[in-house]
Amino acid sequence: MIPVLDLRAGRAVLARGGRRDTYAPVRSLLVAGGAGGGGDPLALARAYRDILDCDEWYVADLDALAGGPVQRALLGALAGLRGRLLVDAAVATPERARELVADGAARVAVGLETLPSFDALAAVARAIGPKRVVFSLDLRDGAPLAEAAVSGTPLAPGPSSCWISRGWAADAAWTPCWWRRCGAPTPTWTSSPAAGSRRRASSNASPTLGSTEPW
Residue 35: what pLDDT? 53
pLDDT of residue 37: 57
pLDDT truncated to tens, each residue of the chain (215 aa)? 899 999 999 999 988 766 777 788 988 888 876 655 579 999 999 999 999 999 999 999 999 999 999 999 999 999 999 999 999 999 999 999 999 999 999 999 999 888 999 899 999 999 999 999 999 888 877 888 876 566 666 555 554 445 554 443 333 333 333 433 333 333 333 333 332 232 232 222 223 333 333 32
Residue 100 · residue 91 · CB < 8 Å: yes
Alpha-helical regions (H) of the chain: 41-50, 62-65, 72-79, 94-102, 118-128
DSSP for 176-201, please give it. PEEEEEES--S-EEEEETTTTEEEEE
For domain 4-211, give its CATH number from 3.30.70, 3.30.429, 3.20.20, 1.10.3470. 3.20.20
- pLDDT score recorded for residue 32: 79
pTM, rounded to two decimals: 0.71
Cβ atoms of 74 and 87 closer than 8 Å: no
State the Cα–Cα distance between residues 168 and 94, nearest whole angstrom.
Answer: 28
What's CA 147's distance to the chain center, in Å?
18
Round to whole Å and give the CA distance between 183 and 73: 32
Angle at 199 between CA 160 and CA 15, to 5 degrees: 100
> Alpha-carbon distance 132 to 176, whole Å?
23
